Amino acid sequence: MNYLVNEQHSGERIDKFLVGVMENVSRTDVQKLIAAGEVKVGGAQAPKNFRVETGMVVVVDKIPEKEASTLEPENIPLDIVYEDADIVVLNKPRNLVVHPGNGVQNGTLAAGLLYHFKENLSAVNGPLRPGIVHRLDKDTPGLMVVAKNDAAHRHLAHQLETRTLHRTYNALVWGHVRDLEGTIDAPIGRNPKNRLKMAVVKDGKPSRTHYVAKKFFAFATLLELQLESGRTHQIRVHSRYMGHPVVGDPLYDGRDGCLNRVSPLMKDIAAKVLEIAPAQLLQAVKIELIHPTTGKKMKFKVPLEKPFEQVLKLLKKECPADAPTFDEDEGFHDFDADIRFDEGFEEEFDEESLDKFDECVFPELKERKTRAQRHAEKAATAAHRRAKAAERKRIKQEKAARRRGIAPEDFVEPGYEPTIDPDLL
């Protein structure tokens, strides 16, 4: 098949161009064709990052064959938040796989969608993923958007690509993050030591996660996160990468091993948290998108699932904490809103010492005082302070006595008792 590039598509990547002009293909299908050498421009195989120009003819030697569907509809209950002729927004429960794969064939969200909506789903991602625009991990509950037709699917996929479709997550992580808000920018790929896991690797795909710290507890932090890219296990991998695994995450070191970082007084509470948490305490709580047909901005939000809410209530009751601040020398310490930088502070320099340095004559180093000397000086300073306070108090009481008509010679100092003649007793 030959495809002529017009001005509208000039400058586009070749895979994006072919997705727009070919029917019933996904970008993954096109990228597989390019990798196999089936896409040519000017008789030469086109690289994956090739950009087309007006007047070029792109030749596709082989049209991808869609895999035969083995997906059978299943009556799986769906929590539908919103539905119209183009999209469905649903709240996926925990422990539900989105589509078949990795040995899972039955009991998927895709099978449930096929049962409830039958043929009214997009086919862009193939028969095994009807209507699936993006996915969530099996043990990550939350909001997902499903496309009912191919046009809506491509529009939503474009929003994901251009980052106009926003997904917001809540996650409870171990420890306290260093910054109250920030961005984790680290490439993600397959873990070279365990192919079932992802990891931050040098040659991985670019991945960015933005986070804001919302609540603090003695040994954990509630984060709000937004994805700029959508890699597999992205939030879980990035959280582990910055040293704060998601609480309860069985795959990325978020369970019993993290109890060692909790103080002994809080260890029982932390163990209780892991008993409540079925898996990672991570949930897609909000999604913002532009409707494919009306162009209207839409926002959807769901409350936290019951286990997540239970854990937060437990932590709020047993071990709340203020926002910490980080000091490079002292580490984390409690946040004190009353502490401010002193204004007008100027560092003073000893001009004589500077002159000596200019002459390359170094001043003598002071001998460091012993601990006993420091304690003695501290005690002397405290005694002097107490003596001054007692003197001020005596003067004040003497003045008060004169106002009451007591003669100075009859005035008795506070805390002083005159000697009494024993013969008078």
* Residues 112-131 pLDDT 10s: 999 999 888 998 888 888 89
Catalytically active residues are 137
DSSP three-state, residue 168: strand
Higher pLDDT, 64 or 278: 278
Q: How confident is the model at residue 133 (pLDDT cuts 50, 70, 90)?
A: very high
Q: Poorest-confidence range of 26-35, 223-232, 248-257, 321-330?
A: 321-330
- What is the token pair recorded at 280? 């990672």
Residue 149 above 70 pLDDT? Answer: yes
Q: Give the mean model confidence (pLDDT) for residues 23-32.
A: 77
User: Residue 200 CA to chain centroid, in angstroms?
Assistant: 16
CA angle 352, 358, 364 (to 5 degrees): 55
Total-model pTM? 0.65
DSSP code of residue 251:
T
Packing angle, helices 306-318 and 267-276, rounded to 10: 170
CB count within 10 Å of CB 313 equals: 11
Instruction: Give the pLDDT confidence of 30-63 residue by residue, as tens digits.
Output: 888 888 888 888 888 888 888 988 888 888 887 7
Q: How far apart are CA 305 and CA 140, in angstroms?
A: 10
Most distant CA pair in the chain: distance in Å?
Answer: 131
β-strand partners of 116: none
Mean pLDDT across 349-362 = 48
Q: Where is 145: in which H helix or E strand?
A: strand 142-147
pLDDT category, 139, cuts 50, 70, 90?
A: very high
Check residue 356 and give its pLDDT. Answer: 46
Classify residue 351 as exposed, middle or buried by CB count within 10 Å of its CB (0-12, 13-18, 19+). exposed
In 3D, which of 185, 188, 184, 183 has the Cα closest to residue 200?
Answer: 188
The predicted pLDDT at position 364 comes to 58
User: What is the CA angle 213-217-219, rounded to 5?
Assistant: 105
Rounded-to-integer distance, Cα 237 and Cα 254, Å: 11
383-396: average pLDDT: 88
pLDDT the model gives residue 344: 40
Which region among 32-46, 370-384, 394-408 has the lowest average model confidence (pLDDT)? 394-408
Q: What pLDDT is stored for residue 412 in this prediction?
A: 63
At residue 347, the pLDDT reads 43
The CA distances from residue 378 to 371, 375, 382, in Å, are: 11, 5, 6
DSSP class of residue 257?
G
Contact 186, 205 (CB under 8 A): no
Beta carbons within 8 Å of 143's beta carbon, 6+ residues apart: 81, 89, 90, 91, 92, 167, 284, 285, 286, 287, 300, 301, 302
pLDDT > 80? residue 324 = no
pLDDT value at 303 more than 90: yes
Q: Which residues pair with 217 in a beta bridge?
A: 320
Least confident of 32-36, 138-142, 200-204, 344-348: 344-348
**Rounded to whole angstroms, what are the CA distances from 334 to 12, 176, 262, 327, 330?**
52, 11, 17, 11, 11
Identify whether the C-beta of residue 121 lies closer than 8 Å to the C-beta of residue 62. no
Query: How far apart are alpha carbons 413 and 56 in whole angstroms?
Result: 107
Neighbouring-strand partners of residue 104: 101
